[in-house]
Structure 1
Amino acid sequence: MVTPILATKLFAPSPRAQAIARPHLVDALDAGIRGGRRLSLVSAPAGFGKSTLLSAWVAALRARSGVRAAWLSLDEGDNDPARFLAYLSAALRSADPAIGVHAHAGQPSLEAGLALLINEVAHSGQEIVLVLDDFQVIEDAAILDALGFLLERLPASLHIAIASRSDPLLPVARLRARGELTELRADGLRFTPAEAAEFLNTAMGLTLSHEDVAALETRTEGWIAGLQLAALSMRDRADASAFIAGFAGSNRFVIDYLIEEVLERAPEETRDFLRDTAILERLSGPLCDAVTGGTGGGATLAALERANLFVVPLDEAREWYRYHHLFADVLRSRLLGHGAERAAVLHARASAWFEHHDALEEAVRYALAAGDLTRAARLIEASIPGVRKSRQDATLLRWLSMLPAETMARRPVLLVFSAWSALVAGDIAAVEPRLEAAERLVAPGAPAHESEPGAELDTLPITIALYRAAVALAAGDVPGVTRHASRALRLAGPDEHLGRGAAAGLLGLGLWAGGDLEGGLGAFADAGHSLRLAGNLTDALSTTMVCADMLVPLGRLGEARRAYESALGEARARLGGGPPTADLHGGFAEVLIELGDLAAAEEQLSAAEALGAGAFSAEHHYRWFVSKALLRRAQGQPEAALALLEEAERSYRRGFFAEARPIGAMKARIRIEQGRLPEARAWLDAQGLTPLDELGYLREYSHLTLARLLLAQGDAAADPLLWRLHDAALAGGRLGVVAEIRQLQRQPVAPAGEQGPRLSERELQVLTLLASELSGPEIARALFVSVNTLRTHTRHIFEKLAVGTRQAAVRRARERGLL
């Protein structure tokens, strides 16, 4: 299930027959495209003809060969990242059906979806202009950040045009400084005297003298809505000059005065219709009839359009309209003058109509506006399955924030999801009381509650157990994670795939954090299977990264490699290279580096980078920088590696995954290899690490880093620490870690100040095989690397041991106790 798309939001208003041609403004917008500018910004207050200009431009673009246009009219509901992505994909798909097909499949993150859209536009070969109308309604920081990212990485074939009442919080200044911005503002949009004359006398059917036009143009300062309102007020007036002479005041008072003039001259039934339908964001005949209680709404809307009375068609069939925003604002203020009770009744009628037509999101909006919290709560519960599956989490959170506690207290389903909203917000303490309250409401013998029967109520015990497992994971309570996730699995039926997948994933995370990697692998295999059955291929493939992170310390590198190759093949074939392809490329590179195949690792990192930064998930983006750093370290470029790890720290987002290999520990290892021991010691001390600590899996990598420092310092405390780590890893079956420890134990404690260049783990593996009877190609095959990669490792070993031949390297290694 995906976000329902209102086709009217994708409709570029057709140029009006009475519209004044403004070729100089259209030429200015065209020049932006010809000049390769990324953004056209049309920014001015209401009533300056922004949408009219852009619709005329779009019509001109569509008349040309090879240029396509996509239109998206934004509203406040588009502040949900998932909804915004869905509509953006649909808008671009209207320009080219090959674009936006995968961007919402599998419910990717906004950043990942935008990256995929960028790639699809780049590969489509079509020149596209994307218009975002009414951009001032977008306030969500994640959306604004993502669009800033989009503007920085636009393919040459895509141009964005924005119409807004205020300057958007986008990198406008940077684009302006680079000459990549076309700007049209109020001064440029004002009607000239000639345009005002054509509009008033031709479009509006007046017969004003040159002097009257000039006077009105001066008084309105070329403000188009003001001219239109004045023209409507002057119809059928005998003395237009007297009216113009008395016309004065600021814009706000002008609006009020002119609207009064227009409305007072309209028939009473028209005034009532306008007032009662002003609450609606979009209008159709049947909807207007339901709200007003009358008939003939469609005919009335058509008549209003013919009279040029501030209605804008939203589709070519003229079934849906909207009021000019300025006009609607004033109409709503007049409605409030008739009392809040009337407005509440109208909103309630609109909510009922939208519910009857299965438009639950709009039904909720109008129920909340009506103040009918009982109805709103019922509709929100009914909307939860669709909202969750389309990942419009921000919408659900916003709705829940608008319901008082006493309303939710009677509905166990809403209580549980309000607990989830607290978890998302980081208010962990508020989660358990809400879950307990929900449990009391559904307990046998409890008084009747208000949640209606349905899937969400039926699976509530599973959801409660999952949220408790998540809280335990956030608190580091590994036994609690296991207990609650196991309960969720027991409660979930064989066909409840999404619940089973989530429960198995949480159980796997708990087992991983506790050091039971074999158990964690089994749980994540179950999670991936359930997610596939639930139709969530994106998340199913993402489990590959978690499994590989457990396979590597277990020493099963070949299995990790095959898992990545399979997942990447499926991602390319079934998801068109969309999420989580970039994450998988970055993770695969780490495994290849462990295998010593540096050339293949470089290829994987380049493939991920080509997809764009936004193609990574927010939680895994930092992994690309880590992989690149490990590659540069293996290539003997420690400073480059440290710089990449600094970038990884800036990109890191704490999630539910075990932090088994801290970035700080990686940096410390490089500094130890460089001989910068005080800097490495500073990080280890800040973590409170000592050789006598109680050992645990999540600190194993850091304790091994401490052991490396002790070896470099010539500290005898390294040996007992390594043996304790060895026994713990062996007991846990982590043979990859055991191998690392044994390599370190081959390196004798050097007297302080006599530490020479240290061999890496991979170089010690190569050195061991150099001491065997195997040939070079045979060693390469044993290590799953190319012969060229083996030669690179061998050259580094020779340099560090100050030798020139294989035999000399083996001899020097034995002298130093490395073999």
Structure 2
Amino acid sequence: ELVMPAMNLSRQFATLLGWLKALPVELVRVRPVLSTWYASVSMSCGELGGVEPRLRDAERWLNTTADTTGMVVVDEDEFRRVPGMIPLIRAGLALARGDMLETVKNARRVLDLAPEDNLLMLGGAASQLGLAAWTNGDLETACRMTTDGMTNLRLAGHISPAIGSAIVLADIQIEQGCLHEAMTTYGRGLQWATEPGAPVLPGAADMYVGMSALTYEHNDLKTATQHLLTSQALGEFAGLQQNPYRWCAAMARIRVTQGELDGALDLLDQAEQLYVANFSPNVRPIATRKTRVWVAQGRLGEALGWAREQGLSVENELGYLHEFDHITLARVLLSLYQSDRADRSIQEAMGLLERLLKAAEEGRRKGSVIEILVLQSIAYHAQGDLPAALKPLQKALTLAEPEDYVRMFVDEGPSMAQLLLEAASLGIMPDYTGKLIAAFEVEKWKSEDKPDLPPAPPEGHLQSPRPTGERGDGEPLTEPLSQRELEVIRMFKTELSGPEIARELVIALSTVRTHTKSIYNKLNVNNRRAAVKRAAELNLI
């Protein structure tokens, strides 16, 4: 009983639960402090069924009219904390079961009962109120209470729970569209988890995954990938239970950007298998993220099947917990319209987006507001109404610029690129639109540089070498490459990007693009790697 607080602080829950289960039940029941710890440890290990019986065992000794003969207390200070610990644990139990009313009722009772100097209880109750508010979509209250809880937990010396609170807080800040604040929160949590001279604490790896998501949004894909690799290198003991699935989901987004959609789905399948529920609301389900990849692949039948399985429709009552799902449904309907031009699809998408926008604005969920406005802009543009498309786009840009959103726009593809060009031509936020257009240009070059490996020939069917001087389709090269085109194709053999090739040859980037298109046409290829291979076969390089 005396070592429980220290072992709880070091999160040795499984060991504690093993010890407690080895004790005779009657020995535990006469010890209110031990019963309370038993309930707490059971909940931490996910054994929710064992929580309430142990709390009732502890609670019966608190009745002032009860006979306390036989009660055993070895630490009076810990016994005085029991009245506050019982509702604290009950609040956690209610949170795990999705009962927000009970969570709030018990957490507020803790705040009434806890002494001012008991920072652990105060921090725990505030954190629970923060999680309840987040689940209800009240992000401002969630942010405030989670910040209070995190601060008190750290001051109480409970660094591991404070690190967990930092992850929750950053997630909430991202939902609020406060990306810079979220990055600061992750940085603070990482500092706590990696204090000099101390062992790396669980949660360090999670911070790198969170920072990866933010650097991804800022379009720094190299750093985003490096953060994930650093998280992986820290090992499983540096991550909390949720880190493996969050890692896979974060890497999947990068794979989508690289055009590796099947690889992204493989990672999301892994994430689904690794998913571990905790007290945080699951506001971005893996199944919904997979649906977005299906939409990118044009697999609209499967996307519609997902919507049916989830019971989603444009007539659903909207709520925060399913906001991401409904935004995804709007994406499915929009893609359906772009595929078959059915008026019903676009009308349903527009109506749903309008309702979603109102709900997200009322909840001050800026991250969702920006995405919804972007989709409204694309929807109007798909219908050929450019003036209407530019209105939500300008609003989205105004909200997004202070937080340096980039991928929110670039991931939407050619339609958004065209809209941004139109916005720039009208002088709408020229600095920011210029930055986003430049990001699209880089994306275009990456696409052109992407290797396009041909499928392997069927077993037993070996391809004969192509005669020198013939094109990839077996015909002779009818138009020779110019001297400058030969210089450009030699540069293709390097790892230089388009802008770097332009600087190396002292020509404009647009000239490099013109030569590239000409090279592709003459060699009948569609990417740099294939062009180099074809040129080598023709003895041109």
TM norm structure 2: 0.68
- Secondary structure of 2:175's aligned partner: coil
How far apart are the structure 2 equivalents of 1:671 and 1:555?
26
Letter in 2 for 1:611: L
Match of 1:762 among 409, 432, 435: 409
- Secondary structure of 1:654's aligned partner: coil
Structure-2 residue corresponding to 1:125: none
How far apart are the structure 2 equivalents of 1:467 and 1:600?
40
How far apart are the structure 1 equivalents of 2:353 and 2:168?
27
Aligned pair 1:451/2:72, yes or no? yes
Q: Is the CA contact 1:463–1:499 (under 8 Å) kept in the aligned structure 2?
A: yes
The residue correspondences of 1:573-612 to structure 2 (distance < 5 A) are 573-574=195-196, 575=198, 578-612=201-235
Cα deviation, 1:654-675, whole Å, max 9, x if unaligned, reads 1212111001100101101211
How far apart are the structure 2 equivalents of 1:747 and 1:778?
21
Q: 1:788 to 1:455 in 2, by over 3 A?
A: farther
Q: 1:767 to 1:493 in 2, by over 3 A?
A: farther
Aligned pair 1:553/2:175, yes or no? yes
Flag the structure with more relative contact order, 1 or 2, with Cα contacts below 8 A and sequence separation at least 6.
1
Structure-2 residue corresponding to 1:733: 364
Match of 2:141 among 499, 507, 519: 519
How far apart are the structure 1 equivalents of 2:260 and 2:222?
15
The residue correspondences of 1:421-436 to structure 2 (distance < 5 A) are 421-424=41-44, 426=46, 428-436=48-56
How far apart are the structure 1 equivalents of 2:164 and 2:39?
26
Structure-1 residue corresponding to 2:377: 746
- Secondary structure of 1:484's aligned partner: helix
How far apart are the structure 2 equivalents of 1:582 and 1:524?
21
Cα deviation for residue 470 of structure 1 reads 1.2
Cα deviation for residue 566 of structure 1 reads 4.2
How far apart are the structure 1 equivalents of 2:358 and 2:364?
10
Q: Is the CA contact 1:557–1:595 (under 8 Å) kept in the aligned structure 2?
A: no
Q: Is the CA contact 1:542–1:584 (under 8 Å) kept in the aligned structure 2?
A: no
Structure-1 residue corresponding to 2:536: none
How far apart are the structure 1 equivalents of 2:33 and 2:79?
6
How far apart are the structure 2 equivalents of 1:606 and 1:788?
27
How far apart are the structure 2 equivalents of 1:594 and 1:410?
55
How far apart are the structure 1 equivalents of 2:90 and 2:439?
48
Aligned pair 1:503/2:125, yes or no? yes
Cα deviation, 1:118-153, whole Å, max 9, x if unaligned, reads xxxxxxxxxxxxxxxxxxxxxxxxxxxxxxxxxxxx
Aligned pair 1:647/2:270, yes or no? yes
Letter in 2 for 1:772: A
- Unpaired runs of 5+ residues, structure 2, are 338-344, 384-405, 450-508, 511-541
The residue correspondences of 1:28-39 to structure 2 (distance < 5 A) are none
Aligned pair 1:664/2:287, yes or no? yes
How far apart are the structure 2 equivalents of 1:483 and 1:766?
50
Match of 1:475 among 87, 97, 113: 97
Q: 1:446 to 1:518 in 2, by over 3 A?
A: same
Structure-1 residue corresponding to 2:257: 634
Cα deviation for residue 410 of structure 1 reads 2.7
Match of 1:674 among 284, 297, 315: 297
Q: Is the CA contact 1:605–1:628 (under 8 Å) kept in the aligned structure 2?
A: yes
Q: Is the CA contact 2:193–2:200 (under 8 Å) kept in the aligned structure 1?
A: yes
- Secondary structure of 1:772's aligned partner: helix
How far apart are the structure 1 equivalents of 2:444 and 2:432?
11
Q: Is the CA contact 1:597–1:789 (under 8 Å) kept in the aligned structure 2?
A: no
Structure-1 residue corresponding to 2:28: 408
Aligned pair 1:772/2:394, yes or no? no
Aligned-pair identity in percent equals 37
Cα deviation for residue 692 of structure 1 reads 1.6
How far apart are the structure 2 equivalents of 1:658 and 1:712?
28
Q: Is the CA contact 2:13–2:44 (under 8 Å) kept in the aligned structure 1?
A: no
How far apart are the structure 2 equivalents of 1:612 and 1:788?
37
Number of residue pairs matched?
411
Cα deviation, 1:183-214, whole Å, max 9, x if unaligned, reads xxxxxxxxxxxxxxxxxxxxxxxxxxxxxxxx
- Unpaired runs of 5+ residues, structure 1, are 1-380, 752-758, 806-819
Match of 1:723 among 343, 346, 354: 354
How far apart are the structure 2 equivalents of 1:570 and 1:403?
36
Letter in 2 for 1:492: A
How far apart are the structure 2 equivalents of 1:413 and 1:578?
28
Q: Is the CA contact 2:202–2:237 (under 8 Å) kept in the aligned structure 1?
A: no
Cα deviation for residue 512 of structure 1 reads 0.9
Pick the structure with more strand per residue: 1
Cα deviation, 1:86-109, whole Å, max 9, x if unaligned, reads xxxxxxxxxxxxxxxxxxxxxxxx
Structure-2 residue corresponding to 1:792: 442
Q: Is the CA contact 1:462–1:488 (under 8 Å) kept in the aligned structure 2?
A: yes
Aligned pair 1:487/2:120, yes or no? no
Aligned pair 1:382/2:5, yes or no? no
Cα deviation for residue 404 of structure 1 reads 3.7
Cα deviation for residue 632 of structure 1 reads 1.8
How far apart are the structure 1 equivalents of 2:419 and 2:119?
48
- Secondary structure of 1:552's aligned partner: helix
How far apart are the structure 2 equivalents of 1:540 and 1:767?
45
Cα deviation for residue 455 of structure 1 reads 2.5
Q: Is the CA contact 1:766–1:794 (under 8 Å) kept in the aligned structure 2?
A: no
Q: 1:688 to 1:451 in 2, by over 3 A?
A: farther
TM norm structure 1: 0.46
How far apart are the structure 1 equivalents of 2:260 and 2:438?
18
How far apart are the structure 1 equivalents of 2:19 and 2:232?
38
Aligned pair 1:530/2:155, yes or no? no
Cα deviation for residue 434 of structure 1 reads 3.6
- Secondary structure of 2:277's aligned partner: coil
